[in-house]
Amino acid sequence: MSVIIIAYVLLIIAFWLGWEKSQPCRELSEEPPAVSIIIAVRNEEENIVNLLADISQQTYPLHLLEVIIVDDHSTDSTVRRIQEFSNESAFTIILDNLKEEDGKKAAVNKAVALSENEIMLTADGDCRADTGWVASMMSCFGNADVQLVSGPVRMPVQDSFWQRIQSIEFSSLISAGAATLTLGWPTMANAANLAYRKDSLEKINLQVGQNTSSGDDIFLLHEIGRIHNNGVVFCRDQKAIIDTESASAISLFFNQRKRWAGKWQFYHDMPTILLAVFVFLVNLAVLSLPLLVFFNTISLLLAANLFVVKFVFEYLFLKEVQKFFNSKILLHEFVILAIIYPAYVTFVALASLIGTYMWKDRKTR
């Protein structure tokens, strides 16, 4: 038990070092490239216009931008709202829809096929972007070796306790992915803020991960990272931050996390598989501490010390991460999260093995 917790603390320290090592990319010194912003949407009538309005305010030359939106069988007025915005837009908007296929992966693939530009930049329909988002992400491609750029994604801290807890938990995932990528070990990325060269898709196995509807971001990261060892980077720039919405209900939250957790079964990258299994074992170990104390397997003092050591390193690391996201961690909220988190991780990991979940009013895998 002690060995597992100590190993986990060392992992947190490695994450911290990787996070501190990550940097913004240098500004482009040459003509900026044309960019296709890829957005797969389903039932985003309340959000999509906000994102399009943010794109219209970008500092990046608008004549170099095209937005390709593929609708995944929306049942609301998403398509109509996009068409209305398109009539007054200062940049090109291409709108298409899925017919026989469904799912985000199919929508993204169709959008990429419609693009003739070199660089793809993906976002989700419920996102908001800073005016420097495109310019910051594109600056990384000033290095000809860079094939994929993972960008920062934030859940803005709001008033409710539920939303603040989600924001803390989400920042831990984003910072861990950024840290491992910077250390040369690409494990996680988020399609809400991801950019890549289109021609890099020709060199990878696009069939990896096709058995699950989720994971277009992580499987792409793993495959491009496998071919181009130094070709994937994280853009640690506040101007590159994309804001995404937190789940409004617990059921939506758990379905989303089941969807994310279920991807590990289809990973081909062994280090990432080992990381996922290790994190699960750590949380299972912490969850078992009360039982071990009850059966006198370990002392109460040792169990308390192990929990406190894990808590302190996690708190200090995430407190530093939150500075980048212009947010704060309230100590009492982090204490509550630290107590419930092991049970949550264990439950979600086991529930993901069932293989199906509800997302956007659709049962899928």
In order of start, what are the domains of the chain with their CATH numbers? 2-15+268-364 (no CATH), 23-249 (3.90.550.10)
Q: What is the pLDDT of residue 208?
A: 47
Tokens coding 99: 């017919």
Buried residues in 248-258 as b, exposed as e (16+ CB within 10 A) = eeeeebbbbbb
- The β-bridge relationship of strands 65-71 and 35-41 is parallel
Please report the DSSP string for 101-128 in residue order. Answer: --SHHHHHHHHHHH--SSEEEEEETT-E
Q: 149 and 140 in contact (C-beta within 8 Å)?
A: yes
Counting every residue written for the chain, the total comes to 365
Nearest Cα to Cα of residue 109 among 125, 120, 93: 120
Sign of CA dihedral 240, 160, 313, 261: negative
Q: What is the pLDDT of residue 318?
A: 95
Q: Where are the alpha helices (DSSP H) in the chain?
A: 2-21, 48-56, 78-86, 104-114, 133-139, 161-182, 216-227, 250-261, 270-287, 289-294, 300-324, 331-352
Q: Which residues of the chain have pLDDT under 70?
A: 205-216, 264-265, 355-365
Q: What is the pLDDT of residue 219?
A: 86
Sign of CA dihedral 236, 130, 140, 226: positive
pTM of the model: 0.90
Q: 59 and 131 in contact (C-beta within 8 Å)?
A: yes
